[in-house]
Structure 1
Amino acid sequence: MCEKINKVNGWLSKVFGDQPVPQFEVNTRTVEVLYQLAQASEARCSNTALLIEDLKQKASEYQADGAHLQDVLLQGVGLSGASLSKPAADYLSALVDNAMVLGVRDSSLGSFMPAVNNLTNELMEAEKSNRRLERELGALRKRLGATLVLRGNLQEDINKTSKSQAVEGAKAEERLLDMNFVTAKGKELSHRREKSEAELLSRNMDKSITHQAIVQLSEEVSVLKKEIIPLKKKLGPYMDLSPSPYLAQVKIEEAKRELAALDSQLEMNVDFK
């Protein structure tokens, strides 16, 4: 762990140079990430250095080849760069520029043709890729338009929902106020009822004259009235019989006594009510 921290600190010092290294939290994860970055950076710097050395070596080789060719031209043909005419010097300069652009080692036709073919193939691939990218761009524009429309609709729905929520919130607050009022009123009425009941108890009021007792008596009277109806119907046929039969007289007397008892109870209940 200490070795990794030292390597990370050394790498950060090289990266920031004279500037101070920013503060960071030192823990296992940050040290591990920075250590991996340091290794990757050192590997890339090493590869870059090797590439630079290779380019320097090639440049030295090209310079040596150029000097050799100048010596050959000067000694064998007697030509030099200063002795060429302006059109020839321009052609030679253009040939050199083309060779550098194409990245060929020399200016021979065997080097130029493959390089031109490669550039042609790259141009065709670039045009094909460009057409594909244009199609994708068109599709993305359509999607973007649809997305913008959807975004507008969603924003409108959000605005409507916000307004609806505000209205519902106001209604809920009003209902809460009403509920609080009703609750307070209910407590007040309950307190008044308890106070009234206490006063009635202190005055020794008969519970039989309360509203609940009267309602109960009324219900009992209704039940008795319903019970009398079938008895009256049962007594009806005996009222039309001749008084001579002894058995009919007995039944009539029993029915009359039952009816009288029910009437008496009904009258007592009605008078009590």
Structure 2
Amino acid sequence: MAHHHLLGQDSAIFSPSVARIAASTARDWSYVDAWLSSKFHPRPVPSFERNNDTLKALLALASTNEAADEERSLLAKSEAAALQELKESESKVSNGTRPLREGLLDAVQHNLPPDGHTALDAMAHMALQLGVAFPEPETLGRRMCELQSTIYDTEQMKARVEILHQHIDAEAARINDLLRELQNDDYQPPIQLAKQNLEIQRKVKALSAKLPELQDRVAALAANTDSSHPTIADIARDEQEYLAVLARKKELDLQLASFQGLPSNPDMARSELEDLRGQLRSITSQRDAVFEGLVERESPVKRRR
């Protein structure tokens, strides 16, 4: 048994497939170690756990990094070739006699670091977008601040418009519901509507009677006080009182609008009510007489006679 077990272990250890996998893993780790050493040079590579997941992640990172390096190298070569062609074409056009300003600009541009090129391109694009003919850092910064302020104001206006739109939608839905309720055939006005109309008319007459007295009191107070120097508190209080009276007047006007067809004089209204009651009694008497005639005609006793 032990002999067979040892043979199984030996076959597992010296299996060609296992050996190929081990060799491939060793090559991958050797490649990863070399890549890490090149990136951390002259410092040593930090210690980390060496397992299959780490190997896969490092291989993917190394592959991506090499692809990016190749793209960067190709881009640098193409830029260098384009620059060389541009130099050659300029030298042919100018025959070696170029102004000092162009030479100085070329020298500055050629000696700029990558960050400088990026910043210069960003300023150029910004000036183009903002429409600045002679861009300077202060001008571009000021225009950017103005643009940010405009964007913020626009966002605030948009938020206010959205809130107003929501209120309008809610009021429109409420008005539509009220309109459907009023247009429904089952709708009946409140029973106490006539009583409310009379009560509102009485209040309006009472307020109208008190209005001259109130105006006289206001005139007397205005004459006794120094009206040339009103305070903010007085103005605010008067405004609130005026708005309250105006709101009350609007409510009364809305309530009176429903009773425009009724007479405003209580005596005339009472007379019209008595006429309607008389008509109702007459119609009721006619109905009772017709009903009694029908009963007498259809009665069995009447037919036996």
Give the structure-2-normalised TM-score.
0.28
Larger Rg: 1
